[in-house]
Amino acid sequence: MGLLTEGHPLSWEETKKYAQYVREHGVEQFINTYKELKDRRNDSLQWGDEVEFMIIRFDHEKKKVHLLLKAHEILPILMEPENQNPDDCTTLWRPEYADYMIEGTPGKPYGYLPVHFNMVEANMRLRRQQGQELLDKDEYVLSTSNFPRNGCPDCSWPTYKPTTDTSASASLFFPDEFIFADHPRFKILTRNIRLRRNSKVAFNIPIFIDTNTPRPFIEDFSIYGDTAGVNTTAAIKDHIYLDAIGLGTGCSCLQVTFQAQSIDEARFLYDQLIPLTPIMLAMSAASPIWRGYLTEIDCRWNVLCAMSDDRTTEEEGSEPLKNERFRIPKSRYSSVDCYISPDSAKYNDQEVVQDMNVFHKLIENDIDHLLAQHIAHLFIRDPLILFEEQLHLDDTKDTDLFENINSTNWQSMRFKPPPADSDIGWRVEFRPTELQMTDFENAALVTFIVLLTRAILTYNLNLLIPISNVDENMKFAQQRDALRHQKFHFRKSLATEQTPDAPFLTSIQKNKSQEPEYDKTECEHCLMTINEIINGSNKFVGLLNIIQNYLSNIDLDADTQDTINQYLDLISRRAAGTLMTNATWMRHFVANHPVYKHDSVVTDEIAYDLLWKMTKITNDEEECPEVVRKKPSKTTLDVTAAVEQDNNELEIKQSLINNNQ
Amino acid sequence: MSTNLLDVDQAIFEPLLSPLFPKATEILFYTGNTLALPKLMKKTNKSITEEIIEYISTVLQTMRIEMNEKQFQNETYVKFLPISDETSITNNYNGTSSDTEQLTREDLKFSVKIFLRSLDPELLSHTIDTVLNQLKENYLESVMISLPNLGVQIKLDDFLPLWRIIEDYIDKQKILSAGVCDFMLPLLSDLYDSCNHKPYANQINLGVCCSIPEELNKYVKEHNIQLLTHSDPIDIINETDFQEVIRKYCHEYDSINWKPLSIVRYNSVIKNRGIIKTKGFFIYAKRELRMN
């Protein structure tokens, strides 16, 4: 959702003029935050998920499904409880890029009690219900990564035709009316990205070649209007051409943010989760269909990278550097470029483009090299949107300008310093996961990540591999059916030296580094399938086994145990390939549809049937045993009274004892 | 024992000519903090029985390898304890993890599960005292009592003396909350009605009773008892297995007559972050010796 500042936005020219100003003050704000809060300790575990729902409308007579441009109508109603009573909501709502998107989060973060894992699904379901209540007949809330026929003619309700000469995006496919208009941010972003790079965004997705797909595949753009020819110079054969920011930012994500106990722990967890970003991307793959065609990709990530890319040709490298400051290899929406903990330095094996003025400023202020590098890298970017009110702030108190840059670097992980004036600590955001069609799956993925962080911290694990290998994995992860067919670089042994002493156990386990033949240059990582990574093999422990070990030491109540077991079972089976990803299931659905001509085209009717089926699955009216196998869930919104009582009792007793001592 | 444990995989032992602890009538194994990566990361989950037998094996093998075989000749209560550095970890909460952690006792929650193989109340006291002493803690947040028979077979009158011991420790603020394991109705409700300090939880094995009986569910919700889960076997370790592991590495006379009486599994968790800090076991056994 990003920073939803109120106020008066500046024009692009003015925004550009203030770029250096924003950077300087942003860095100043970060330095102040760092100095003030770097010693903050013992923040408890708090975490939350973000779900970007889509609203759609079915026309059962015409067998068509539309993106419903109604977010602007229902969001004010959804946000009313927060306006009335901001500290006491079960859910919170925000707008997102498109007028067919509504973003929901839990009202209060989940906490550290095991029973909190049993609340996630119930809260997600509640959010869905709250949205659904405000819709009319044939209108539904859906959770999926990408609307398959987004950008096709008449894919919205009401319908609009893109107007390439006057729109903010100049897209052939994505009308301006799709953009959420009640907050200026999204249109301004659209316009400014295009103005900065001085061209439309463009991306080409390889089409899935089926038995009847025309070879070569060259799309006929004439249906999109007279100016179509001029606009499609960036299209290439055998590919699906996308030309609008909204075709990327109008996709939905599943994100998890959690609070660490200190800045060091936040940096540690940020790093440890980086190798997991491609793994979770592959596990959650849910976007095989783009602009009505089956493609060779199963994920939205690279599309978003390209559609949010504000780099000029000089920065990209297709023209020599004259006016720009840096050659920049990646879009501002991309996988992370470096680890940020001091111990991780040796794994940063790629050059990181940095603003050296920023870097030196941070070093002068006693910020260490790795963190300084990270910030200096984020700050190579220009602000994309600026409000007048942000220009005259108190750098010792406000963080808006820092957030301006931090929140418009859309990376696979985000390191989030405490906001001004709050009791919130250092946080980490995990961002790559694709949104699944059921609350059960989304809760399972989110729970898995959080449990993994607890296990990593308990056992002092190290998952790091060179960042270049992580980037390679990100490429592998997005390919068609990557989960079952690809291998990924993954660390072979997750043990570290910093585990608590346990003499009897180190004796049982041969300590390899003491053997004379131990080769220090032996590679720490190797290629593994998702199945091996998650479920283990005779050579690798498997992430699920680590989590199970952790859970066996925690007091779990019966309901939470049952819920977590079901979630981990889903993860296990999906990794093993016995359950399908959403993407694979969608491909099967299309392939087996009576109307499908095996020409890679997902027609209106096929899309209608697919989304109707998904809607029924989501609402528990139909099963989808190929993807999800579960019993009725024990998830609940309430933390049971017994647990609260237990904790209260302990607090009282502990303070009693402390008073006596 | 005061030494690092060695790599013992390949050791082969000569038969002993005389017993190592001929006078011992009590024996204690205390693992110290077992949270260790290398073993964990190589093998899939072991059962608690396997873990314990493996630990005892290693301790005895190490003793043999180091030939500290004289040290227990005159002992009546043989204690195999971890090296002294080890116990300091449980007290030095900063431990070996990052220097930025500044934990206090309040940040931690100690949970202890005591598997009793006898209904002798004194055994329970001895066990609790041993745990408190070795962990060097003044109090434990949660203690769960488990008996080898399923709760359905024990009678309230047999169990109450044990619960009275627990209540005593609660009164002295050495235990903050206590619970039971595998109790069904009516035993659970009978206990609840007869005692002063109510059990805060009942731990059941979902593998054994696949779904929770409806009336049990109702009862615990009405009486604010947490229904927790475990996957421990009914009997953690029996006489035969315990004696056999000793016999394997010691003299035959060292192994006779031992009866494991109490096994304890403990852990400490950083309460508000869900991170396990320490974990370990105690195994206590007794025997009678026939004097030659």
pLDDT band at B11 (very low <50, low <70, confident <90, very high): low
pLDDT higher than threshold 80 for residue B245: yes
pLDDT higher than threshold 80 for residue B99: no
Q: What is the rounded CA–CA span in Å between residue A486 and residue A528?
A: 8
3-state percent helix, strand, coil for chain B, nearest multiple of 5 = 35, 20, 45
pLDDT higher than threshold 90 for residue A456: yes
Q: What is the rounded CA–CA span in Å between residue B219 and residue B212?
A: 11
Per-residue pLDDT tens over the stretch B108-141: 899 999 999 999 999 999 999 999 999 999 999 9
Q: What one-letter code names the amino acid at A334?
A: S
- Considering only the beta carbons, identify the residue of A499, A507, A559 that sits closest to B6: A507
Do B167 and B195 meet the contact criterion of CB atoms below 8 Å apart? Answer: yes
Q: Do A642 and B95 touch (CB under 8 A)?
A: no
Predicted confidence at residue B46, as pLDDT, reads: 73
Q: Do A507 and B141 touch (CB under 8 A)?
A: no
Q: Do B55 and A504 touch (CB under 8 A)?
A: yes
Residue A580, C-beta contacts closer than 8 angstroms, at least 6 positions apart? A574, A588, A626, A627
- Least-confidence region, from A116-120, A533-537, B36-40, B223-227: B36-40
Sign of the alpha-carbon torsion through A59, A65, A69, A71: positive
pLDDT higher than threshold 70 for residue A1: no
- Considering only the beta carbons, identify the residue of A41, A503, A559 that sits closest to B4: A503
3-class secondary structure, A127: helix
Q: What is the rounded CA–CA span in Å between residue A319 and residue A327?
A: 10
Q: Do B212 and A553 touch (CB under 8 A)?
A: no
Predicted confidence at residue B209, as pLDDT, reads: 67
Mean pLDDT (whole number) for A182-194:
93
Mean pLDDT estimate for chain A: 91
Name every chain A residue with its beta carbon within 8 A of the beta carbon of B45.
Answer: 545, 548-549, 552
Q: What is the rounded CA–CA span in Å between residue A223 and residue A213?
A: 19
Do A209 and A600 meet the contact criterion of CB atoms below 8 Å apart? Answer: yes
Q: Do B37 and A552 touch (CB under 8 A)?
A: no
Which residues share a beta bridge with B243?
Answer: none
Q: ipTM more than 0.90?
A: no
Token pair 């006929």 is at which residue? A220
- Considering only the beta carbons, identify the residue of A457, A458, A504 that sits closest to B31: A504
Q: What is the rounded CA–CA span in Å between residue A234 and residue A250?
A: 21
Mean pLDDT (whole number) for A422-428:
92
pLDDT band at B215 (very low <50, low <70, confident <90, very high): very high
Q: Do B98 and A264 touch (CB under 8 A)?
A: yes
Name every chain A residue with its beta carbon within 8 A of the beta carbon of B226.
Answer: 555, 557, 640, 642-643, 646
3-class secondary structure, A8: coil
State the smallest CA–CA distance between residue B159 and chain A in angstroms: 23
Residue A90, C-beta contacts closer than 8 angstroms, at least 6 positions apart? A106, A107, A108, A123, A126, A637
Mean pLDDT (whole number) for A38-44:
87
Do A395 and A361 meet the contact criterion of CB atoms below 8 Å apart? Answer: no
Mean pLDDT estimate for chain B: 83
3-class secondary structure, A442: helix
Q: Do A498 and B96 touch (CB under 8 A)?
A: yes
- Least-confidence region, from A34-48, B112-126, B201-215: B201-215
State the smallest CA–CA distance between residue A482 and chain B in angstroms: 26
Is residue A322 exposed (0-12), middle (13-18) or buried (19+ Cβ within 10 Å)?
exposed
Q: Which residues of A559-589 are buried (b: 16+ CB within 10 A; e: fewer)?
A: bbbbbbebbbebbbbbbbbebbbbbbbbbeb
Q: How many CB atoms lie within 10 A of CB A351?
A: 9
Mean pLDDT (whole number) for B26-47:
70
pLDDT higher than threshold 60 for residue B44: no
The answer to whether residue B181 is domain-embedded is yes
Q: What is the rounded CA–CA span in Å between residue A374 and residue A338?
A: 7
Name every chain B residue with its beta carbon within 8 A of the beta carbon of A41.
Answer: 100-102
Q: Do A503 and B35 touch (CB under 8 A)?
A: no
Q: Are strands B201-204 and B175-181 parallel, antiparallel or unpaired?
A: parallel
- Considering only the beta carbons, identify the residue of A262, A550, A646 that sits closest to B226: A646
- Helix (H) / strand (E) containing A239: strand A239-242
Predicted confidence at residue A442, as pLDDT, reads: 98
- Considering only the beta carbons, identify the residue of B41, B83, B279 that sits closest to A493: B41
Alpha helices in A38-117 (DSSP H): 71-78, 80-84
DSSP state of A514: G
Is residue A447 exposed (0-12), middle (13-18) or buried (19+ Cβ within 10 Å)?
buried
Which residues share a beta bridge with A525?
Answer: A491
Mean pLDDT (whole number) for A267-282:
98
pLDDT higher than threshold 70 for residue A49: yes
Plot region of A601 (φ>0 → left; ψ -120 to 50 → alpha; else → beta): beta
Domains of chain A: 1-313+325-396+410-512+521-635 (3.30.590.50)
3-class secondary structure, B200: coil
The answer to whether residue B95 is domain-embedded is no
- Considering only the beta carbons, identify the residue of B33, B62, B204 that sits closest to A500: B33
The answer to whether residue B265 is domain-embedded is yes
Q: What one-letter code names the amino acid at A465?
A: I
User: Cis (ω within 30 of 0) for the bond into A76?
Assistant: no
Choose the mutation target among B31, B113, B276 for the interface with A, i.e. most A CBs under 10 Å: B276
The answer to whether residue B234 is domain-embedded is yes
Predicted confidence at residue B91, as pLDDT, reads: 38
Helices first, then strands: H and E counts in chain A:
25, 17
CA proximity to B225, closest of B203, B255, B254, B195: B203
Q: Do B40 and A262 touch (CB under 8 A)?
A: no
The answer to whether residue B2 is domain-embedded is no
Name every chain A residue with its beta carbon within 8 A of the beta carbon of B40.
Answer: 459, 541, 546, 549
Do A331 and A307 meet the contact criterion of CB atoms below 8 Å apart? Answer: no
User: Cis (ω within 30 of 0) for the bond into A625?
Assistant: no
pLDDT band at B54 (very low <50, low <70, confident <90, very high): confident
DSSP state of A346: G
What the block records as the tokens of A361 is 């400023």
Expressed as residue numbers, the domain containing B69 is 26-83+105-287
Q: Do A457 and B273 touch (CB under 8 A)?
A: yes
pLDDT band at B42 (very low <50, low <70, confident <90, very high): very low
Predicted confidence at residue A377, as pLDDT, reads: 98
State the smallest CA–CA distance between residue B243 and chain A in angstroms: 20
CA-nearest residue of chain B to A453?
B275
Which residues share a beta bridge with A603?
Answer: none
pLDDT band at A646 (very low <50, low <70, confident <90, very high): low
User: Cis (ω within 30 of 0) for the bond into A114?
Assistant: no
Predicted confidence at residue A516, as pLDDT, reads: 43
pLDDT band at B90 (very low <50, low <70, confident <90, very high): very low
Say how many domains are in chain B. 1
pLDDT band at A317 (very low <50, low <70, confident <90, very high): very high
Residues constituting chain B: 292
A406: phi then psi, degrees, rounded to nearest 5: -60, -40
Mean pLDDT (whole number) for A578-604:
97
The answer to whether residue B15 is domain-embedded is no
pLDDT higher than threshold 80 for residue B76: yes
The answer to whether residue B158 is domain-embedded is yes
A414: phi then psi, degrees, rounded to nearest 5: -135, 135
- Considering only the beta carbons, identify the residue of B5, B45, B111 that sits closest to A504: B5
CA proximity to A77, closest of A91, A63, A65, A88: A91
CA-nearest residue of chain B to A493?
B41
Name every chain A residue with its beta carbon within 8 A of the beta carbon of B96.
Answer: 498-501
Q: What is the rounded CA–CA span in Å between residue A353 and residue A328?
A: 7
Predicted confidence at residue A641, as pLDDT, reads: 66
Predicted confidence at residue A362, as pLDDT, reads: 97
Residues constituting chain A: 661
pTM (predicted TM-score): 0.91
pLDDT band at A26 (very low <50, low <70, confident <90, very high): very high
Q: What is the rounded CA–CA span in Å between residue A574 and residue A351?
A: 35
pLDDT band at B153 (very low <50, low <70, confident <90, very high): confident
Do B7 and A477 meet the contact criterion of CB atoms below 8 Å apart? Answer: no
Q: What is the rounded CA–CA span in Å between residue A282 and residue A582?
A: 11
Q: Do A558 and B278 touch (CB under 8 A)?
A: no
Residue A437, C-beta contacts closer than 8 angstroms, at least 6 positions apart? A142, A143, A144, A286, A582, A614, A617, A618, A624, A627
How many A×B Cβ pairs under 8 Å? 204
